[in-house]
Amino acid sequence: MGGLSGLRALALAACSVGGLSGAAYSLLNSQSRQARSVIGTPVDAPLNADGFYLPDGSGPFPLAEARDLLTLAVLGDSSAAGLGAEVPEALPGVRLARGLAEESGRPVRLSTHAVSGARTTGLEAQVDEVLLAPPATAVVIVGGNDVTARMGVHTSAALLAEQVRRLLAAGTAVVVGTCPDLGAVMPIPQPLRTVARRWSLALARAQARELAGTGATSVPLAALLSPHFLARPQDLFSDDRFHPNGAGYALAAEVLLAPVCAASGVFRGRS
């Protein structure tokens, strides 16, 4: 999910774009303060469990050389980093690495470069790190913070595509989970939640359009996950009520695993 500090900026943008009255402006501004007070500000950094994962489910083991190895990198924001996961085993990158190892029958080296709070403008630095030793496959989830920072959807999507092309040019297969639906975050009151939802879904569509034809795989996280989060918020959100918990990340990893396996040259159930 996106950052909290930008909710007021999102409210301001909604007012300016929509030409809302002073009363509507006051309402949205008040709602942004209310949402921030209810959700709070995360104080803990995401967990990290980078290393080698074996087909039998064991790991992580210290990073080292291994034979017949698959390499997997995770880039993006807090949704990619796994902020809100209770234990390292629940991190989305860990779930993907273990699933890929099991499906392929090969060890998988996981490296996480995602940064909580990152916007698409910060993706370039993450890609710079990744390209020091290009992995076989990269997973990217980014965009929520662009919404709360009111970055233009076309600008944001174009920046994403630019960095994805850099990864592809280095021989890395790329799977992008497009922007999650911020409208599933129930502590954001209406009508501000509707503004957040429309903006995040517009960004997800723009990201998919920009990535079409690049060779990257787009996975529509909002369409696939939002119904679950809306139906079971108490089960799928962490204590901050904004980021997913381990069960929420399990759902995300479940919809991403098949595309990651395909991008890595592994088909589910066979290598």
Element (H, E) at 192: helix 192-211
pLDDT, tens only, 57-88 = 999 998 666 678 999 999 999 999 999 999 99
User: Cα(29)–Cα(185) distance, rounded to whole angstroms?
Assistant: 17
Residue 79 exposed, middle or buried by CB count within 10 Å (0-12, 13-18, 19+): buried
Residue 234: inside a domain: yes
| Neighbour order of strands in the sheet with 137-141 | 51-53, 108-112, 70-76, 137-141, 173-177, 217-219
Output the pLDDT for position 222.
Answer: 97
161 phi, psi to nearest 5 deg: -60, -35
Number of domains in the chain: 1
Output the pLDDT for position 62.
Answer: 82
Residue 57: inside a domain: yes
Residue 123: inside a domain: yes
Token readout for 118 is 């990152």
What's the pTM value of the predicted model, to 2 decimals? Answer: 0.85
Please compute the mean of the pLDDT values over residues 9-34 and round it to a whole number. 44
Residue 174 has pLDDT above 80, yes or no: yes
Q: Which CATH number fits the domain that encloses residue 52?
A: 3.40.50.1110
Residue 269: inside a domain: no
Residue 29: inside a domain: yes
What range defines the domain where residue 68 resides?
A: 7-263
Known catalytic residues are 78, 240, 243
Residue 270: inside a domain: no
Handedness of CA 125, 130, 134, 137 (dihedral sign): negative
Residue 2: inside a domain: no
User: Cα(11)–Cα(191) distance, rounded to whole angstroms?
Assistant: 10
Residue 78: inside a domain: yes
Output the pLDDT for position 268.
Answer: 52
